[in-house]
């Protein structure tokens, strides 16, 4: 068995004791802290992730729909309506993504912000939705930067005291998104013109294809 000096043992015991005391002390209740912050709902999880990057610890962000839920034809539950009634702000994508949202927001009468405002829409070319905007604007890193700006502005209106913090987080997040776009452009620049195609099942990548100079091919439009 290894031999330790008495000083090392005492130091170790002191550290353990300090940890125990810290564990026994009254720590803030995370749920209580979350309840004290402004409550923001998003219509789906992608928007919640984007919004959380701007919100930090200043705002509690929750998605109405759960991961994997069908966002287009979602049917809000009574619990969703209650949550929205208690929320300070609801964030939606717009571009006709959430077919249920217009009636939902009228029912709960809550302030909401459309994060795709400012995006140059691409119309769906085929299928029953031909001529209507493709709602999947967030598939483009450049468009997500527009989302971030809209969210940061809405959060600053909601919590003016944290406006500088929101702006700083937004700038940092946009820098990361721009780096993703730059890396993608660099890799795609290696492709011959005849091979610059993006082939997918669904035409959900129109904005990414446009920004990256790719021809989009898909099995079905949306």
11-49 per-position pLDDT tens digit: 433 443 444 344 444 444 555 556 689 999 999 999 999
* 151-159, long-range: CB < 8 A, 24+ apart: 151/50, 151/51, 151/54, 151/91, 151/113, 151/115, 152/54, 154/89, 154/91, 154/113, 155/40, 155/54, 155/55, 155/58, 155/59, 158/38, 158/40, 158/59, 158/88, 158/89, 159/38, 159/58, 159/59
Task: Give residue 210's pLDDT.
Answer: 94
Strand partners, 91: 42, 113
* Closest alpha carbon to 218 in 83, 105, 116, 127: 127
Task: Give residue 35's pLDDT.
Answer: 66
- Calculate helix-pair angle for 78-86, 101-108, nearest 10 degrees: 60
- Of 24-33, 34-43, 157-166, 187-196, least confident by mean pLDDT is 24-33
Task: Give residue 33's pLDDT.
Answer: 54
pLDDT more than 90, % of the chain: 62
Task: Give residue 117's pLDDT.
Answer: 98
Mean pLDDT, rounded, for 72-97: 93
Is the pLDDT score of 220 beyond 90? Answer: no
Mean pLDDT, rounded, for 196-203: 84
Is the pLDDT score of 72 beyond 60? Answer: yes
Are the C-beta atoms of 97 and 143 separated by less than 8 Å?
Answer: no
Tokens of 44: 């789906």
Tell me how far apart the alpha carbons of residues 154 and 92 are, in angstroms, rounded to a whole number. Answer: 12
Question: How would CATH label the architecture of 32-220?
Answer: 3-Layer(aba) Sandwich (3.40)
Express each pLDDT in 92-142 by its tens digit. Answer: 999 999 989 988 888 888 899 999 999 999 999 887 778 899 999 999 999
Average pLDDT, the chain: 85
Task: Give residue 25's pLDDT.
Answer: 43
pLDDT more than 70, % of the chain: 83
Name every residue whose Cβ is closer than 8 Å to that of residue 174 and which is 6 or more positions away in sequence.
Answer: 145, 148, 149
């Amino acid at each position: 068995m290894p031999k330790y000096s008495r000083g090392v043992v005492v130091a170790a015991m002191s550290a353990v004791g300090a940890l125990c005391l810290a564990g026994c002390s009254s720590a803030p209740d995370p749920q209580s802290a979350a309840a004290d912050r402004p409550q923001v709902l998003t219509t789906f999880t992608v928007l919640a992730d984007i919004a959380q990057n701007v919100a930090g610890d200043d705002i509690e962000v929750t998605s109405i729909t759960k991961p994997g839920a069908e966002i287009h034809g979602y049917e809000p539950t009574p619990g969703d309506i209650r949550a929205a009634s208690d929320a300070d702000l609801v964030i939606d994508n717009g571009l006709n993504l959430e077919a249920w949202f217009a009636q939902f927001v009228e029912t709960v009468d809550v302030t909401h912000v459309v994060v795709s405002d400012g995006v140059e829409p691409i119309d769906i070319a085929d299928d029953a939705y031909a001529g209507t905007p493709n709602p999947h604007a967030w598939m483009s890193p450049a468009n997500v930067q527009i989302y971030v700006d809209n969210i940061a502005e809405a959060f600053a209106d909601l919590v003016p005291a944290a406006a500088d913090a929101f702006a700083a987080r937004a700038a940092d997040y946009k820098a990361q998104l721009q780096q993703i776009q730059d890396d993608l452009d660099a890799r795609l620049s290696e492709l011959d013109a005849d091979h610059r195609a993006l082939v997918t099942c669904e035409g959900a990548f129109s904005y990414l294809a446009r920004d990256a100079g790719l021809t989009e091919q898909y099995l079905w439009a949306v």
